[in-house]
Structure 1
Amino acid sequence: MELHVVSHPLVDHKLTVLRDKNTPSSTFRELVSEIVMLEAYEATRDLLLEDKPIETPVAPMVGKRIAPPRPMIVPILRAGLGMLDGMMKLLPTAEVGFLGMKRDEQTLDIITYANRLPDDLTGRHVFLVDPMLATGGTLVAAIHYLAERGAREITCIDILAAPEGLKRLEQDINPDINVRVVVAAVDDHLNEKAYIVPGLGDAGDRLYGVVD
């Protein structure tokens, strides 16, 4: 597993506003999209390219374009949806799949309740997006879920990560899967409720409101 922490003044500034408990949901959503675009710029550096002959207004030339098969963006519902807009703005030719996973707050087990994915992901570069990498359980389960369908190039884009979650990924991910993790920051630790500290609270609730 490869970890990349995006270091940029704009990321630091926007992340500070994002963490502030007084930031309203409307601003929170905008900031998530902006931060994800900055992360995605780094996360897409390894996309494969192919030659593309074109004609400019001046002369013919051979440029570059993203090689097939098309990349796939997979947000983990529901908080991952808040990152989709920023990803699509930077990578509009990508296809989108959906994976519904949630953590049982009592047992911390991962429950898969929905998916909308191709049966075969062989050769596809998959971008798995979820705001928080806390215990790592959801991300590990999602990576295995994608790998069962043939995905071997998986880039995870998270806004925040905890050391405990990163350690779990290192331990539990099959080394045959090329996994890269791109985050805006690695925070200090998890508290007794498995929330990232200092973190930003529950990303889903802050994006969309509390659902009982």
Structure 2
Amino acid sequence: MKDVSATPYAQRLLELHLPRYGEIPRIDLYMDQLVGFLEDTLAPLYQPDEKIITRSMVNNYVKQGVLAAATGKKYTRAHVAYLVVICTLKQKFSLSEINLLIRRQIATFDTGVAYDYYCDAFEAAVRALFGARPASPQGLASGDAPGDFERDLVLASTAAVAYTLHIKASVALIQEESAAGIGSQGVAGPA
């Protein structure tokens, strides 16, 4: 069996760069610009047939109270940051869980600080699992300092998504090998 880290998908993930808060466009975006920006930014995370974000999804997030409504049909830097987090976490978590995680972070940290920490943790978790020498993502701090619990939530949630992506990549690799007639002839089960 091939190594997952050698697949084109893993290579795309290793090159993933989530824009930090200061890199998100300073000008407010209209819906089409917002969707285009997010699709371009998050494309490495998704398979070609998966939908990353649509106008309907954005409207649904607003209706469910996870995302603030646009101001004058324009979306701010904070909207973009929320949507990057939503679109990455939806690989593993429900919308209500994502909403709770985001709200806990911004109740503890400034939006830009919380978002940049999330991006760093997400990229680190993906690189740990998809690198040439796969390793476990960063462990939890589990300390008593203010913000440790919230930082641990970020580390655990980003690791969970990274593991989910690794499983999806592994399943795709197994399916490719099965279609090509490569792999084991049988699977041994528990004795």
Question: What range describes the TM-score normalised by the shorter chain of this pair?
Answer: under 0.3
TM-score for the superposition, normalised by structure 1: 0.22
| Greater relative contact order (CA < 8 Å, ≥ 6 in sequence) | 2
Higher strand residue share? 1
**Greater share of helix:** 2
